[in-house]
Amino acid sequence: MSNPFFTKNPAFNGRAATLTTPAGYPTMPGYQVGQRGQGLPADQYASSGPYGYGAGYGAPTSQRPASGYGDVSPQQLSHLEQQYAAPSATNVDRGRMTYDDVVMRTAGIFAVILATGAVTWGMVSSTDARLGALGLGALAIGAVGALVLGLVNTFKREPSPLLIMAYAVFEGAMLGGFSGIMENLYPGIVLQAVLASAATFGVMLLAYTRAGFRLSAKASKVLLIAMGGYLVFSLVNFGLMVTGVVSDPWGLRGVTVAGIPLGLVIGLLAVVMAALSLVLDFEAIQQGVEQGLPTRYAWAGAFGLVVTLVWMYVEFLRILAILREN
């Protein structure tokens, strides 16, 4: 799901405050209002005239040797030439966010998800009844923990690597248990869902980078509203399933309309929303890199991508399961 962190945080939404001089120009590093001749020797450009242009009328002008820009020693000149010849500082040198930072952190989060998921997958797939029950418990705890930490990380103004990794642990427990159950019921379904998710991600990435596909401000707002409605539906459906009001394993998604499962239609719409959410994630990450945000914000970019891809994978898994049943 698209990460609201990007839309709420001024660092990503383009509303970050820019320091300016009293005249309205962007400030330079070290600038402070009210200081004159900052960074220059106090006596080199000091003015003694009433208007700041040098010695007053009639004052002696040869009290000390002239000094200025022309008095550069060979050592200073050599140092300046070395600085001029040196390569420009990159985002990495300046401690700024890069695309590689986002990729590496995304890979790290997925590694934790896969490691935790492998454990719960093995538990729910075990022939030992007690181990299987523990696996189901881990699945439930993982679902609740992932939901809570997902919301916490989403609405934090500053990314927390520790909380993001904790989210990955809970998400892995949930995904591993759910995927293991689905694979036992429908062999091969997990690989199909993974391939479908990877293909969709690749298509949207190419559309964004090569075809220049973007969402307008109005379309983005409509998408966020639609995702909010889908979240409400999912929570209501989960509540009905837990309380036993709806007996179907898929809850309201198991209802058929004109012979078509409602879950199939909703799942396809959810996949479309997830695919469009990737575009918002790509754009937010690009803005973060171009604006030179600190490296720590790469965690926010990675978290947004992971949440969206996990959402897409679960929707594909659910769609394929409904199709297998029918």
The domain limits of the chain are 95-325
Q: Which tokens go with 59?
A: 């004052």
215 vs 325: CA distance, rounded Å: 36
pLDDT score at 124: 95
Terminal alpha carbon distance of the chain: 28
pLDDT score at 37: 47
- Average of per-residue pLDDT across 48-62: 50
The upper half-sphere exposure of residue 160, i.e. CA atoms within 13 Å in the direction of its Cβ, equals 13
pLDDT score at 10: 56
pLDDT score at 27: 52
Q: Which tokens go with 2?
A: 């698209």
pLDDT-based confidence at residue 97 (cuts at 50, 70, 90): very high
